[in-house]
Amino acid sequence: MIINKAYAGTLESSDIFVEIEPADEGAGIELKLTSAVYKQFGPQIEEVILETLKANGIEDAKVTANDRGAVDCTIRARVEVAALRAKGEV
């Protein structure tokens, strides 16, 4: 699968900015998360991001996420759109 660099979301309150970059095959997901609520929700956010990437068929990528207190359904939406854009499916 060809992955282009793509992003989705914003840095507004309650949103999350997600950027996906290509990585070598077999490299897996390298996720860098910064979050305003990292102490409270860091692991939960990472899990939701990884799960959504998997559901959208992204297996190898560098992913950067900057979270401003987004709830799960927003995180899922932004990751899905970033994934679709990275795959050129929009």
Please report, as ranges, the residues that interact with other proteins according to CB under 8 A.
8-9, 12-15, 36-37, 39-44, 68-74, 76-78, 80-81, 84-85, 90
State in angstroms the smallest separation of the CB of 28 from other proteins.
25
Nearer residue to other proteins within complex by CB, 25 or 89: 89
Are the beta carbons of 75 and 41 closer than 8 angstroms? no
CA angle 61, 65, 19 (to 5 degrees): 50
Bridge partners for 17 per DSSP: 66
Nearer residue to other proteins within complex by CB, 23 or 51: 51
